[in-house]
Structure 1
Amino acid sequence: MTRIVSRFPLPPMSLGTERHLTVHAYGDPDAHPKAYVQAGLHAGELPGLLVLHHLIRRLDAGEDPILGQIVLVPVANPIGQSQLLRGQMIGRTSLADGTNFNREYPDLATAVGDAVAGRLGKDSETNVALIRDVFGEILADQAAHAEGEGAYLRLTLMRLACDADIVLDLHCDDDATFHVYLADHLWPDAADLPAYLESPVTMLANESGGNPFDESLSKLWFDLRNRFGAATPVPSACLASTVELRGGGDVGDALAEDDADRIYRFLQHRGLIGGDPGPVPELLRPATPLNGMEIVKSPLPGIVSYRVPLGAEVVTGQAIADLIDPTADDPAEGRIEITAGTDGFVFARKTHRFVWPGETIAKIAGGQSLAGRAGKLLTD
């Protein structure tokens, strides 16, 4: 299968340095449907990099025809890749300004809406094409005036994905099961994604707070549809999702090859690759609201000892861990039970078992919205 490799240079932030994005593309560059898949936006999250390595190998083998366009970016954050501190990669946030690399993407719905106002008609396909053209033009203009490497990187990634029908942003948590974030307005049409990925957790929100990469691409369509109404149909033309490939230690060829196969079959089902993907699997669990996700936090410093494993179904009030202070005068008083605040599925924990006050101990996907869960729904 013919693959085109392109390199997009980033503006240097200091003398004598140079970084670039490497992009692998298959199919006609003007074809649709188009899928865009990236990994390593949080640069130290390695499972996605290995998954895309195996997906590239699979596509190169040419066992099935490419029917649309597939764009892969195995390392979406060369800035984070270069941030080494005493032998550790600091790839989640920028050392220059402290910004999370998966936050603060520009919300361009208003700008795009102003530019297409009065130009949209009654044909949804024509409207989609116009909106994509204008979206790309605005991003190109902003990239031309971007200040700094980080801003330019964000805009370049958006430019590569802004006309895609499917966008998958591959991440991982600390110690976790597979889980998927999707927008409410994409559900249930997007249920085939977590089904093919065999994800036990799917969490839904139109706005999670902080403007992550996937929402900068999918929410625009939701906002434009609300702005212009039914007279000028604007579909949800971009299925964008953050896909969490378990935990940071879940890195290996066998697992990555299996995950690449799951993505491959999903793309087959969506008409990007020929061949038979097999029937859509049943969802492992129902989707749940993102504001029903409990982020269990530590009240004090100490050592965490978990009582329940990843994947456990728990109920409100159930002890899920003990927080231990080994310096306590009385060992019996040096233990605090940490309990679940909702019924749900424990999908994430900490690998390093020492915690500070306010640090996340676990995440539970609950089926009901939780009081006070509003605004920024994700952990930074």
Structure 2
Amino acid sequence: MKHITSPLISPSLGTSRAIDSFHFGTGNGPKVYLQASLHADEIPGMLAAWKLKQQLITLEQQGHIQGEIILVPVANPIGLNQHLMDIPLGRYELENGFNFNRGYLDTFEQVKQRIDGQLGEDLSKNRQLIRSAIKQAVNDWYVDTEFHSMQKALLSLCCDADYIIDMHCDFEAIQHTYSTHYSWDSVKPLAHYLGAQVNMLADETGGNPFDSSIDMVWKRLTDCYGEKIPKACQAITLELCGQNNVSHEKSDHDANAILNFMRSIHLITDKPPALPSHPESSIQAKLLAAVEPLKSQTSGVVVQCAELDSHIVAGQLIAEVIDPISDNVEQIRANQSGILFSFTMRKTATAGMLVAHIAGDDVIRSGYLLAP
């Protein structure tokens, strides 16, 4: 194992932070990049990453890693240091309000300009040409803040990976994933091993999140150049249940699912991958544009009225928001049928607050599809 420290721009006198990455393997095979807690108050992936690290150390010593694995257990040291009155605040940078999982560099135009007229019939050479162009574009990215230097450090580590796995969690939620139509066929086995029964797909989400910042470059190049572009990067975001789902049992499950996925792509060779505990038929993809966000229109006490992982019918009561002063009771109902996969942890609502998500089958949204 090689431990590399990538310093970030120091934001003020006497302070400094860095990205710590752990590198396993030889590079003679597929490359997988994994990171955890890009939203720094989402901890389940951090524990799963630590479990992975312990197993990868042993597997490397035994000669069972036939490729390269880069693991970043703490992807956001900035957000991890943000607290207000004992409350961690890791989703947005307090300096400017930026979401830590938005606004990643789009290298497509730079890469297209670099490779235009240089593609041949050898897909292997084309792959290397494109990866070099992406890496150069990331290296050329001028950054002058700690926030953007962190984004650059993370992209520098993953921009030539075959697979990018970004570990997050929701508030209260069942296991679910986000990916792109471009990547789904390749990463579906990982969702299978995790037992993620809700998997949302979209190629264009808006916001330039981390997970699709590289695979969508390859997809858009394929749209331009067709068969000259090999499939070379697949990405997936794992939502490892909710913020409170931090336990040895849960993290062991998640780490073993990722290891079994890496066995399935022959990156880890100690034994055949275990059979997933969930049937193939239960691992289905849905359109992110068919996900319904349910919000409160008033403020008050939040009462959950439907269970997570339950099948919801249109019109069903999901939650009530009760004003104990005026006695007003707002009923939040589903507008479509689907699966209730996430719910707020907060028990008091503000007007306009996101309360729950339902994964349906009919497209009901367009444009910017991500949560704030």
TM over 0.5: yes
User: 1:276 is matched by which residue type in structure 2?
Assistant: P
CA RMSD of aligned residues (A): 1.4
Aligned to 1:379: 371
**1:40 has 2:37 as partner:** yes
More deviation in 313-322 or 46-55?
313-322
Q: Which residue of 2 aligns with 1:326?
A: 324
- Hey, what does 2:340 align to over in structure 1? 346
Q: Residue type matched to 1:61 in 2? A: T
The percentage of aligned residue pairs carrying the same residue is 37
Amino acid at match of 2:302: V
- Following superposition, the deviation at residue 79 of structure 1 comes to 1.0
Equivalent residues in 2 for 1:104-119, closer than 5 Å: 104-119=103-118
Q: Is the 8 A contact 1:313 1:346 kept in 2?
A: yes
Offset, 1:234: 1.1
**AA in 1 matched with 2:369:** L
Pick the aligned partner of 1:217 from 214, 232, 236: 214
Letter in 2 for 1:348: S
Task: Give the residue type in structure 1 aligned to 2:84.
Answer: L
List runs of 5+ in structure 2 lacking aligned partners: none
Q: In the alignment, what sits opposite 1:296?
A: 294
The amino acid of 1:284's aligned partner reads S
Residue 312 of structure 1 and its aligned partner are, at CA, apart by 0.7
Determine the C-alpha separation between the residues in 2 that align with 1:4 and 1:284: 38
Q: Report the equivalent of 1:94.
A: 93
Which whole-Å deviations, capped at 9, do the CAs of 1:69-104 have from their partners, x for residues lacking one? Answer: 100000011111122222222211111111000000
Q: Please tell me the residue identity of whatever aligns with 1:119.
A: Q
Q: Is the 8 A contact 1:200 1:283 kept in 2?
A: no
Change (3 A) 1:85 1:336: closer
Query: Structure 2 vs 1, CA of residues 283 and 69 (structure 1 numbering), >3 Å: closer, same or farther?
Result: farther
- CA distance in structure 2 between the aligned counterparts of 1:302 and 1:85, rounded to whole angstroms: 23
What is aligned with 2:236? 241
Q: Which amino acid aligns with 1:339?
A: R
**SS at 1:128's partner residue?**
helix
User: How many aligned positions are there?
Assistant: 367
Corresponding residue number in structure 1 for 2:73 = 74
For 2:136, the aligned partner's letter is: E
- Residue 166 of structure 1 and its aligned partner are, at CA, apart by 0.6
Q: Is 1:357 paired with 2:351?
A: yes
Comparing 77-86 and 286-295, the one that deviates more? 77-86
Unpaired segments ≥5 residues, structure 1: none
Q: Deviations over 1:301-325 (max 9, x none)?
A: 1212111111010011111222211
> Cα deviations across residues 346-370 of structure 1 (Å, max 9, x unaligned)?
0000111111111111100111211
8 Å contact kept, 1:288–1:368: no
- Answer whether contact 1:64 1:273 (CA < 8 A) is retained: no
8 Å CA contact retained: 1:181, 1:203: yes
The alpha carbon displacement at 1:279 in A equals: 4.1
Question: CA separation in 1, counterparts of 2:28 and 2:300?
Answer: 55
Q: 8 Å contact 1:27–1:67 — kept in the other structure? A: yes
* Superposed displacement of residue 125, structure 1: 2.0
CA offsets 1:187-220 (integer angstroms, 9 cap, x no match): 3343212111110110000011100001111100
How big is each residue's C-alpha offset from its partner over 1:239-267, in whole Å with a ceiling of 9 and x where there is no partner?
11111110000001121111100110011
TM-score, normalized by length of structure 2?
Answer: 0.96
